[in-house]
Each structure stands twice: as C-alpha cells, then as structure tokens.
Amino acid sequence: MIVATARLVLSLPGNDSLKGKRKVVRSVLDRARHKFNAALAEVDAMDEHRRVVLGAAVVSNDARHANAMIDAIIEFVATASEAVLVDRRMELVHLGELDDG
C-alpha cells in the first residue's frame, strides 16, 4: 500500500477577511474532493486571512499512480482560484504487508 501526502501553502493576496478566505478554501476543497475522490482539508493557519495551508492524501497500490494523483491535485489547487501556491511538500510512504502471526 502506498500513501501519498502533500502539504500546500497558498497566499491570498488582496484578501482582507476570514470570510473571503473561507469562501476560497471551501470552493477549492469541494471541487478537488469531487474531481479526485481524495482526502483534502485545511490543516493550519486557520486564523490568517492571507495564508492557506491545505493537506491532501491518496492511497493506492501503485506508487506511480499515487504520485500522479498528488501531482494532479497540486496542479488543480494551484490553478483553481486566485490563491497563489507558494510552497508544497510531498511524501510517499510505502507500507508493507502486516504479518498475522
């Protein structure tokens, strides 16, 4: 099993309220979840109105597929709104078989 994760930091230049930030975040998360059937959430900087930190995760039995999914999610988030992607970190974790005994 392969678990691919990403931490995305976005900037919201010109945004002046948490209400405006929430609107952008909700839109991006809802569309990305629907398009990719992946787990996404706002994970940090909740009270900063010009900074968004998102987490994304996918599970697969193939590392190339998991990597491609995370790459596609990053590309989507980077282009899905007026938010500017300023940092991204990815990690692929290979989890082996569990011994039953």
- With a cut of 60, say whether residue 98 has pLDDT above it: no
CATH of domain 2-94: 3.30.70.1120
- Lateral strand order in the sheet of 84-94: 39-44, 51-60, 2-11, 84-94
* Of residues 6, 2, 8, 27, the one with CA closest to residue 93: 2
CA distance 35 to 83: 19
SS3 content of the chain, % helix, strand, coil (to 5): 35, 35, 30
What is the per-residue pLDDT for 16?
87
Write the pLDDT tens digit of every residue in 28-49.
Answer: 999 999 999 899 999 998 888 8
Write the pLDDT tens digit of every residue in 13-23.
Answer: 988 898 989 99
- With a cut of 60, say whether residue 10 has pLDDT above it: yes
